[in-house]
Amino acid sequence: MTLMPVRRVMVLRAARLSRGWPLLLLIGVLAGCGGVPTSEPASIPTPGMLPSPPTASHGVTLMPITPNTALEFESPSDGWRVVGQGAAQPAGNTPSAALGLSWPGDSVQRTTDGGSSWTQSLTEQSGIWGVDFVSSSTGWAVGTTTLYATADGGQSWQLAGEPSSPLVAVDFLDASNGYGITRVGTLETSADGGQVWQPSSFSQPVSSVCFTSSDVGYLATQLGGFIEATANAGKSWTLSYGLPLNIMSSGAVDTDLACAGSTVWALEDFGSAFGTATAASYAVARTLDGGATWIMVGNNIVGSSAEVPGQPIPVAMPTSILTTGSTSAALLGYGNSGQTLAIATTSDGGRHFINVSLPVPSATTSSANPIFQVAIQGFAWPATEDAWILVGTASPQPGTYNCAVIESTDGGASWSTVSEQAVAVGAQ
């Protein structure tokens, strides 16, 4: 990002009961406002106390890779969003459907006034997963089978390259250097703006990758949720963090990484393990010293064999985590009963989380999904004070859904709807 070095790629999961792309999950309510204090959490065991990450899937069914976010802002005025519905639904990604829609979208739209108005930028009927920008001019749109690049803020787009397996998400550090994750979880690298891709030195399936500089980065493995670190631009990787032994997962773990400077946050989803009927099974961990020490600051884990460090966080079904400062983060998702959105913020490294009320744009219950009220599609927080959320709500008009942008200009303390419009679902 241009205003602060915040990088995160694998965004906005629909708090996986099925944990697919976020036009999906149909449940969300805010369980009241106020601070939720936590005690100082216990430190996580060091890598030397942990078993080695698995080296093969061993028959475990891996979770679908979470695509790039459908919303990106690079300044208080310049942003991009993905809307509509593409025709293709690639094998290997099977997100749930809401309103009869399935992600990916089919269009990229652009705003130059902070989200109040949007203009068409790119159309790809086969489908677009999401976008990634490194400046107000340079960015990429990840199609289901094609990667697009722009050097003029989305006024024009050019075809870029693809690995042998199509990309689902990319994370570029600058106009040339970037990382991508394919549909099968392979980590790929590019040094020419995405024209040519090469497999990285890390051979295991990856769910998320995040770099804080050209040399220093982190990735999360799909198997076991291990976090590995590199200090040499991905030439080699070493184990940085693993889950406590009493909740160590031998199956697939879906991780969302957010990093800035020496701070890294990890939202780890365990699928059906340790969860309840009304809340996702997840844990939030962080390091403030580049991975030397990790602390689990919160979780929603039940049925484990021993006490788990960290306290409950007031987001029952989280979709995404973003770094908003050296000790600050925001966790976005849903509550328990299916009516509104939930967001929890911390400014002290996770010792306390504040639950902030979010407005719900016009919502009409979907006949196809009668509990549906609102679905999160994107989350962007490029600067300390400015943040946006992209949501979809059910529309009474056939063939459309309501697309709304919610904005905060005071660091997440208050939110308001800045635009809302009906969007056609696109090709069927």
Give Rg (Cα) of the chain.
19
Q: What is the pLDDT of residue 302?
A: 63
Global pTM exceeds 0.85: no
Instruction: Specify the number of domains making up the chain.
Output: 1
Q: Six-digit token pair at 301?
A: 């884990």
Confirm if 240 and 227 have CB atoms less than 8 A apart: yes
Residue by residue, pLDDT tens for the chain (428 residues) are 333 334 444 333 333 333 333 333 222 221 222 223 333 333 333 333 333 333 444 344 555 666 778 899 999 999 999 988 765 444 333 333 333 334 678 899 999 999 999 999 999 988 899 999 999 999 999 998 899 999 999 999 999 999 999 999 999 999 999 999 998 899 999 999 999 999 999 989 999 999 999 999 999 998 888 999 999 999 999 999 987 755 655 567 889 999 999 999 999 887 655 555 556 688 899 999 999 999 999 887 765 544 556 667 778 778 889 998 899 999 988 776 555 688 999 999 999 888 887 877 765 444 444 344 577 888 999 888 899 999 887 777 777 778 889 999 998 889 999 998 888 765 43
The CATH number of the domain holding residue 331 is 2.130.10.10
Residue 5 belongs to a domain = no
Nearest Cα to Cα of residue 343 among 330, 352, 329, 327: 330
Residue numbers of the domain that contains 364: 34-424
Residue by residue, DSSP assigns 87-151 as S---TT-----BTTB-S-EEEEEEESSTTS--EEEEEEEEEEEEEEESSSS-EEEEESS-EEEES
Residue with tokens 């549909």: 183
Confirm if 374 and 340 have CB atoms less than 8 A apart: yes
Q: What is the pLDDT of residue 265?
A: 96
Residue 310 belongs to a domain = yes
State the greatest distance between any 2 C-alpha atoms of the chain, in Å, as a whole number. 58
Residue 8 belongs to a domain = no
Residue 26 belongs to a domain = no
Q: What is the pLDDT of residue 180?
A: 95
Q: What is the pLDDT of residue 400?
A: 77
Give the 3-state DSSP-derived string for 348-396, with helices as H, strands as E and coil as C. Answer: CCCCEEEEECCCCCCCCCCCCCCCCCEEEEEEECCCCCCEEEEEEEECC
Residue 327 belongs to a domain = yes
Nearest Cα to Cα of residue 116 among 391, 363, 406: 406
Q: What is the pLDDT of residue 259?
A: 93
Q: What is the pLDDT of residue 373?
A: 59
Q: Which helix (H) or strand (E) holds 402?
A: strand 400-408
Confirm if 93 and 62 have CB atoms less than 8 A apart: no
Q: What is the pLDDT of residue 43?
A: 35
Residue 93 belongs to a domain = yes
Confirm if 22 and 336 have CB atoms less than 8 A apart: no
Residue 248 belongs to a domain = yes
Residue 11 belongs to a domain = no
